[in-house]
Amino acid sequence: METVSQLLESISDVGRDTVRGGYSRPVYSTAELDLRGWFVEQAGRRGLEVETDRNGIIWAWWGAPEKGALVTGSHLDSVPGGGAFDGPLGVASALAAVDVLRQRGVQPNRSLAITVFPEEEGSRFGVACLGSRLLTGAIDPDKARNLRDADGNTFADVSRGNALDPEHFGRDEEALARIGDFVELHVEQGRGLGEEGPAIAVGSSILGHGRWKLTVSGQGNHAGTTLMQDRADPMVAAAQIILAVQKTAAAQPDARATVGRLEPIPGGTNVIASRVQLWLDVRHPEDAVTAALVEAIHGKAQKIAAFEGCSVTLTEESYSGTVHFDAALQRQLENALPGAPVLATGAGHDAGVLAGYVPSGMIFVRNPTGISHSPEEHVEDDDADAGAGALADVLEGLL
Ligand code: GLV
Ligand code: MN
Ligand code: MN
Ligand code: MN
């Protein structure tokens, strides 16, 4: 029987990013496909029956696929230059938890499935939790099909290349009905669990969050021949817009706003850009406040752009309101894990999307660095094992 750390060690070479550090495992890249293959092999070794549904979600069944099953799982894709745990910890812990349950001789009263969701991070096609959004119908399949990666490939084409039929994307009543309860184990992504206290927490809620794209348009021109006063430089506007994002969010308690991705077009050292794209991530517990923040940022961006002789447009790419996990399921998790603190999180998860449709809950495992979406994300081996044990305790009580 392998421990969680041994399972993670066996994939520690997959998708290493030698440029950014950490891991880059975008959905349906060679790295993510290798990890999906690793998962299928691990599931096979445990005698779990594996299927991939029409939205690209992998299901590994202990017991026959059935309505109302207990489902646990997470994702294997990563952000660019991400850590080793965001996603894979939940998948490896689910495999280890099945081993623990079998060792305990647990005889399940219902089937258990482990799921792997595609494009949880939205790092390739822009919309996070794409697999769970398709499964539940939270995204229009047409919108999903037409999402493009940085190379211009559509999600439909890339999915087709991976033996999926994008015409069959969308709400899957049968698959959804199979989820009686969903529990996702995840690395904690902030400083919610201190070094002294318990290593495991129960999730209570997910902060509302969304993504917007700002496109600043100016006049592309020559860096040497264009006098400073003659420029309409969208990079200069973008720099001020980023400051406005920071100031707007800093003035609003509990708000977080980030520009983590910026693309000048065409992107040459001796070229004044003609266009700049900024991707904006805004999060706040109240939907109305998030909407007001985005509106305020848009207004400031328009003023800044006009001052620089540029224009700006803002489009929403995705939005998920604040989610409170199922109260009854949360209580069951708390009862199974006495002493575990209850934590809210600012990070999005497939469990958050699923929570709008089926009872869902989360377990968090201590991250001593308090850093995530970065190579410094960390989980100690003992805490990872404690996490798998905690997941086993929770699943045993629910099976
Ligand atoms: C994903 O991890 C997110 O919270 O953006
Ligand atoms: Mn993440
Ligand atoms: Mn994650
Ligand atoms: Mn996430």
Q: Which pLDDT value is given to residue 136?
A: 98
- Alpha helices, H only, the chain: 4-9, 30-45, 88-103, 130-136, 141-146, 155-160, 173-177, 234-250, 287-307, 327-336, 350-354, 381-398
pLDDT, position 196: 83
Give yes or no for residue 111 having a pLDDT over 90: yes
Does any ligand 1 atom lie closer than 6 A to the CB of residue 121?
Answer: yes
Q: Helix crossing, 234-250 with 287-307: angle to 10°?
A: 150
pLDDT reported for residue 194: 84
| C-alpha–C-alpha distance, residues 176 and 210, integer Å | 24
Pocket probe for ligand 1: among 362, 373, 374, 377, the residue whose CB has the most ligand atoms within 8 Å is 373
Q: How confident is the model over 181-200, as a mean pLDDT?
A: 94
Delimiting residues of CATH 3.40.630.10 domain(s) in the chain: 4-207+322-398
Q: Is 168 annotated as a binding residue?
A: no
Average pLDDT over residues 319-334: 97
Domain with CATH 3.30.70.360 in the chain: 208-320
283 assigned to a ligand binding site: yes
Q: What separation in Å is there between the alpha carbon of 121 and the centre of ligand 4?
A: 6
| Fold adopted by 4-207+322-398 | Aminopeptidase (3.40.630)
Residue 121 is assigned to a ligand binding site: yes
The closest ligand to the CA of 88 turns out to be 3
Token pair of 142, please? 């047409």
CA of 105 to the centre of ligand 2 (A): 34
Calculate how far, in angstroms, residue 18's C-alpha sits from the geometric centre of ligand 2.
20
For ligand 1, is residue 347 a contact (CB within 6 Å)? Answer: yes
ipTM: 0.91
* pLDDT for 251 beyond 90: yes
Higher pLDDT, 154 or 192: 154
d(CA 220, CA 296): 28
The pLDDT tens digits of the residues spanning 209-219 come to 999 999 999 99
Q: What is the mean pLDDT of residues 72-93?
A: 98
Q: Distance (Å, rounded) from C-alpha 24 to C-alpha 172? A: 29
At 270, list the tokens.
Answer: 């001796």
CATH domain 208-320 topology: Alpha-Beta Plaits (3.30.70)
User: How far apart are the C-alpha atoms of 121 and 131, rounded to whole Å?
Assistant: 10
> How many angstroms does the Cα of residue 187 sit away from the middle of ligand 3?
8
